[in-house]
Amino acid sequence: MTLSKDRQRLSSCILAGAALTCLPAVAAAEDTAKGVMTTKTATTGSTDVTSGTFDTAKQAADASDATEAKVQVGVLGSTGNSRSLAGTAAGSMRLRRELNEFSALLAANFARSAPTPADATKTTMENYQGKLRYDRFVSERVSLFLSLSGRRDRFQGLDLRMNLDPGLAYYFITEEKQRLWGELGYDYQYDIRRDDAIAAAQAKDGTILGKTKPRHSARGFLGYHTNVNEHVAFDTGAELLLGIPKTENWRLNWDNSLTVALDKRFSLGATFNLRYDHNPLPAVEKLDTITAMNLICTLY
């Protein structure tokens, strides 16, 4: 998945600004709520929910009955020599009832900016994302899952990218303070491309693209979570999607997050996300990275 460098920096500033603005109103508490550091707080804060990495059922060692919900909102504006207005919002929920788990995630990012007072503002970032996932735990270490995600991204040239992912997860380590797990499965991707992206590809080198494009891939994922102490947690996960039968259509996603609990409901997270598409649309860069600071409110 790809974004321009300017939009990467802007996305990071949105989240960092939101976090720093809210921090004075939040006082660090002596006690951390039970379960705060065992949830995927910072990963939802990256406002990128369709990568298929952290939003897994990695709570295999948690209680068999759990309800979680989180929200995040950020705004950044500037006037004067340069003008910009940007906003980001994300929300997630997770339900665990004995051997069944359901999760849902939503995110939206939008920004407009102008480099000088004389220039009109232009949209520099616009995407909307959603994901649903169901897990059935067949044992303490094994779960079967099915995931459905969608993404609409103006600057990736997508009216819609839908991914359907069935698979199996195995937990190598399920200790209270750390977990190591892997996933294997299949990914079906269906793209509906924007008309302007099709026109840009033809204008660049004469490439003629269809309006829609299905793609089949084998999927592998490896993730690790650790509670450094009662207030600090670290997560990392890497996902590889290998095209079938065209192996040149491969993608790599790598997510990292460091989360610090501020009190029973608020946590501060720093995230780094890497997205590499070996065969993107023409005129679209292969590599994208996003670094962000997030303030997350846990509702349940």
CA distance 135 to 113: 41
% of the chain at pLDDT higher than 70: 78
List of residues 6+ apart from 21 with CB closer than 8 A: none
pLDDT tens digit sequence for 283-298: 778 888 877 767 777 7
pLDDT tens digit sequence for 79-135: 888 888 888 788 899 998 989 999 999 988 888 999 888 888 999 888 899 999 999
- In total, the chain counts a number of residues equal to 300
The number of domains in the chain is 1
Report strand pairing: 212-227 vs 232-244.
antiparallel
pLDDT tens digit sequence for 204-244: 878 888 999 999 999 999 999 999 888 899 999 999 999 99
Confidence of residue 50 (pLDDT cuts 50, 70, 90): low
**What would the mean pLDDT of 237-258 be, rounded to a whole number?**
91
**What would the mean pLDDT of 260-268 be, rounded to a whole number?**
84
Torsion of CA 60, 148, 297, 300, to 10 degrees: -50
Domain limits for position 147: 5-298
Which CATH number does the domain housing residue 248 bear? 2.40.160.40
The residue ranking higher by pLDDT, 38 or 56, is: 56
% of the chain at pLDDT higher than 90: 34
Confidence of residue 16 (pLDDT cuts 50, 70, 90): very low
Give this prediction's pTM. 0.71
3-state helix, strand, coil in the chain (%, to 5): 15, 55, 30
3-state secondary structure (DSSP) of residue 1: coil
**What would the mean pLDDT of 42-50 be, rounded to a whole number?**
46
Assign 3-class secondary structure to 175-209. Answer: CCCEEEEEEEEEEEEEEEECHHHHHHHHHHHCCCC
Q: Report the pLDDT value the prediction gives residue 87, as an integer from 0 to 100.
A: 82
